[in-house]
Structure 1
Amino acid sequence: MPHSDDLLWGAVGDISRFAALLTMAELGLADHLAQGPLDSAELAGRCGAHAPSLRRVLRELASMGLVRVAGPDAYDLTEKGTPLRSDVPDSVRSSIRMLGEESFWYAMGMLPATVREGGSAFMKRYGPLYDHLAANPDVSRMFDDYMTARAIPLTEGLVKRYDFPAAATMVDVAGGKGHILATVLHANPQMRGVLFDLEYVTRHARQTLEAEGLAGRAQVVPGDMFAGVPAGGDVYLLASVLHNWDDDDAVRILRNVREAMNDEGRVLILEVVLPDSEEPHLGKDIDMRMLAIFNGGTERSREQYAAVLGHAGLVLTDVVELGSGAHLIEARRR
């Protein structure tokens, strides 16, 4: 077990390392270095940076193994740094940029104030997240890219480890740009889909589904899940939705789904399920972001999901591990 001092000072150092990583992502350093080494002055010119400042960041990035020294004042991209490129599969560049975006960075830095006062400092300054995104298209696009990148490994686990009913209609509630729905439909050619989300989101979803050749099998419906969801579905998917809301709001959403679903329908909740132990866990890290950004947003344990489902007239029937720290919770009418 690491010494407590190592743990504490390691966390302090992580702030500096993340700042360097964010600089690498923001300036697109991995893209510029993809074709071979550059000296710091040339790299600064290409990415519009101050060369002496960039040189100091490159020194930190080299210590992290993301770049390497390739000659006097020259640097090259390493294999470890390749996922920071924009043009590679499973790129993490958009995710890093989103987590370091000004409002998100503010939210995490103000976590002590949020805990002290019992309300999100982010919401006091920026308002509800989705209103903030709707009012700031550049941030919204970055957020969509982050959610898409985050969903890729989860979606792969979903289609590999869960048997969808044949010829079913799946309603993807708050389905974003539609990448999860597209993956499920490609893997299940007899299924049809409905993507349901806010009006400003559905414009991007239509583009995604058309580009995937699924416009004939997938309908896009704008609306507010607190007012109701499209009726008649066999499967209702809520992927990274319920953790944004407190128990009362989560129950409201689930009750709307229960009222809309077919008699033999099922609800699929794609979330991180917290362990009962005190071990480190991805869900505990994400829960700090939920605490910082939302009033009431929270990660939950299996028992907590079962309780929320029960209040909505649903019963938890299965929990499937999808990998990458995520789970699929299946529920049906009680």
Structure 2
Amino acid sequence: MKQVTEPQDVLELMNAGLAAAALNAALELGVFGELKRQPQSGAELAQTLGMPLGRCVCWLDVLTELGLLARADETYAVTPVAQAVILDMRSQSAWALQAELCREPYQRGVNLASHLKDSGPVWAAQGRAPLTHYEQVSQQSDWAERFTRMIYELHGPLAAALAETIELNDAQRMLDVGGGSGVMSLALLKRNPQLKSVVVDVANVCRVGRALADATPEANRISYHAADFLRDELPSGFDLVLECDIQIYSDALFRKFHAALNPSGRLVLIDRWWAQADGRQPAAHALHAFAAALEQPDRRNFTVAEIQTLSAAAGFEPLAVRTLATGETLIEVMRCA
């Protein structure tokens, strides 16, 4: 976030939500891809999208002010910045779903001054009852497919960074808990030809992950186990258990991990959101923490030391704490014999 230093910064920040909504709408509707294929006038794009002309031109001018479009006379085209940070980074479908996911934080901010004192989630005070992420992927197969494919794409760099960082020469079987598409497992399998992986996730996600894995050379070394890892028992006999970007930690879950591992097996936890040693959230994560607190007022993220204490109580001893090239923190512990 940009720090406020001038009165104008205050006014700009007060209106930033509308600029973000304009950008997200462009991402959902594929405007940048459309204008890359063929620069168009406002009238042409309005006709393509079925949008009132005046509104379309004002919208495109916002995107131009953001530096993502360039206007020559009446024609709009993508800028080199938009090409580099949007079109070259992710697929249209991934951007569209990310933009869709940003709607919920907007809604949490409605009448926020009236709801900050509420002891429950702000959406309850607003009279809403949105589905949780787990409910969406469990109940809505189309949503599960879109989300799983997006994460497969987004987590590619993280998977590569993990494979470059961790040595698994002695591991034969790994359990990827909440592993979704299997993107993390596939990166580790590619680097470690002796390794096989079992991915645990809900049935809708496992179905999509299986289809993605079948298109890779590692397809015959990865399997998918449909289960709710918080309620169901985990399979056992593994040399490595991986939990990546799940942000769920409890004594009961650590004991499940312990039971799933062979003696001296390793548990690897990867998270971007662990708190600092003093319990405070890093400044760069303040907005994420605030959005979470609007849903769970007393929610806070664990520190690395707290994770190590929790794992020790379940029968693990610490091995290493590392920072991956993508910025996430990796905690590695070993099951005591």
Q: What TM-score results when the alignment is normalised by the length of structure 2?
A: 0.84
2:222 maps to 1:222: no
**1:273-292 map, 5 Å:** 273-276=274-277, 281-292=283-294
Question: What amino acid is aligned across from residue 260 of structure 1 in structure 2?
Answer: A
Aligned to 1:154: 158
1:195 and 1:212 mapped to 2: Cα distance? 15
Decide which of 64, 67, 71 is 1:65's aligned counterpart.
67
2:113 and 2:316 mapped to 1: Cα distance? 36
| CA-to-aligned-CA distance 1:60-101 (integer Å, 9 cap, x gap) | 1111111111x222111012212433xx45446145324324
1:52 and 1:196 mapped to 2: Cα distance? 50
| CA-to-aligned-CA distance 1:213-250 (integer Å, 9 cap, x gap) | 32311111111212221211111110111x2x4x5xx2
1:289, CA displacement in angstroms?
Answer: 3.8
Q: Which structure 2 segments of 5+ residues have no match?
A: none
| CA-to-aligned-CA distance 1:97-134 (integer Å, 9 cap, x gap) | 24324x45434557767753333345760243211333
Question: What amino acid is aligned across from residue 331 of structure 1 in structure 2?
Answer: V
**1:301-320 map, 5 Å:** 301-320=303-322
Decide which of 206, 229, 236 is 1:231's aligned counterpart.
236
1:311 and 1:4 mapped to 2: Cα distance? 50
Indicate if the aligned counterparts of 2:42 and 2:75 stay in contact, CA closer than 8 A.
Answer: yes
1:255 and 1:6 mapped to 2: Cα distance? 53
Q: Tell me, what secondary structure is at the counterpart of 2:322?
A: strand
Question: What amino acid is aligned across from residue 81 of structure 2 in structure 1?
Answer: K
Q: Tell me, what secondary structure is at the counterpart of 1:290?
A: helix
**1:156-195 map, 5 Å:** 156-195=160-199
| CA-to-aligned-CA distance 1:269-312 (integer Å, 9 cap, x gap) | 11013334879544433333433456876433222322332343
1:129 and 1:54 mapped to 2: Cα distance? 33
2:318 and 2:169 mapped to 1: Cα distance? 18
With 257-266 and 319-328 compared, the bigger mean Cα shift is at 319-328
Describe the shift of the 1:9–1:169 C-alpha distance in structure 2 as closer, same or farther (beyond 3 A).
Answer: farther
1:158, CA displacement in angstroms?
Answer: 0.9
1:6 and 1:152 mapped to 2: Cα distance? 39
Q: Tell me, what secondary structure is at the counterpart of 1:234?
A: strand
Aligned to 2:20: 18
Aligned to 1:269: 269
2:76 maps to 1:81: no
2:51 and 2:75 mapped to 1: Cα distance? 15
2:150 and 2:294 mapped to 1: Cα distance? 18
1:326, CA displacement in angstroms?
Answer: 1.1
Aligned to 2:39: 37
Indicate if the aligned counterparts of 1:65 and 1:80 stay in contact, CA closer than 8 A.
Answer: yes
TM-align CA RMSD: 2.9
Describe the shift of the 1:160–1:4 C-alpha distance in structure 2 as closer, same or farther (beyond 3 A).
Answer: farther
Q: Tell me, what secondary structure is at the counterpart of 2:175?
A: strand
Question: What amino acid is aligned across from residue 121 of structure 2 in structure 1?
Answer: S
Indicate if the aligned counterparts of 1:197 and 1:223 stay in contact, CA closer than 8 A.
Answer: yes
Aligned length: 325
Aligned to 1:51: 53
1:5, CA displacement in angstroms?
Answer: 4.6
**1:79-118 map, 5 Å:** 79-82=80-83, 83-85=85-87, 88-91=88-91, 93-94=95-96, 96-101=98-103, 103=104, 105-107=106-108, 109=110, 116-118=117-119
| CA-to-aligned-CA distance 1:12-67 (integer Å, 9 cap, x gap) | 23312211110110110011011242111112222333332121111111111111
Larger radius of gyration: 2
2:314 and 2:13 mapped to 1: Cα distance? 40
Question: What amino acid is aligned across from residue 180 of structure 1 in structure 2?
Answer: M
Indicate if the aligned counterparts of 1:66 and 1:80 stay in contact, CA closer than 8 A.
Answer: yes
